[in-house]
Amino acid sequence: MSDSASNTENTVQIEIFPRRILSPETAQKLMGELYKVEGVIRVMVQGQRLPERVTAGPGTGEKVEHPLRKPIQIGNQVIDLKVSVGRIRMELSNSEAKEKVREVCEKVIPFPFEFREGFFLRRKATVTDYVKLGPDADPLMLGMVDPKARPEDRIVFIETEEEEE
């Protein structure tokens, strides 16, 4: 994935919206393949939150054993899946990367999905971005903060592997 996107105005944003929730195995395979595409600037995964503990009722405080809450591996990092993967929004550096992403989706997702181009990720700071990230926030972080999450769970960075020449 690309580190720099000093000019986010000329980028392409896409949304991948599968007709079904992705299983952790399919999500891992898809994210692993998308991770390899050249030209990916940032990726946001959206879906319903998978609770860690019961918040109300007779079982309050008990651990929830949800089948979709599993760790997945992307590159050489293991990430706890805290949402059921319902849609993926991406910012790409060019339209060639868009076509590569479409090919990856057609290869990995075993059921129909919508593939849309539009404006899905923020380019200007909102009040939430200002409060969570500060006045000098990195433009790549705008819209990537989950305001309901704990501070340590708000954003997950996938480290890119630098190839040695």
Q: Angle 138-72-101 (CA atoms, 0-180°, nearest 5)?
A: 65
Output Rg (C-alpha) for the chain, integer angstroms.
17
Residue at 22: amino acid letter: L
φ and ψ at residue 91, rounded to 5 degrees: -115, 130
Residue listed under structure tokens 């990856």: 104
**In whole angstroms, what is the distance from residue 62 CA to residue 42 CA?**
35
* Nearest by Cα to 155 from 143, 164, 163: 143
Q: How far is CA 95 from CA 7, 38, 102, 121, in A?
A: 15, 11, 11, 17
Closest by CA to 141, choosing from 85, 91, 75, 72, is 91
pTM over 0.85: no
Residue by residue, pLDDT tens for the chain (165 residues) are 444 444 556 889 999 999 999 999 999 999 999 989 999 988 888 888 888 888 888 988 899 888 888 889 888 888 888 889 999 999 999 999 999 999 999 999 999 999 999 988 877 777 777 777 777 777 777 766 666 666 656 556 655 555 444
Task: For the chain, list the domains and their CATH numbers.
Answer: 9-50+64-121 (3.30.70.260)
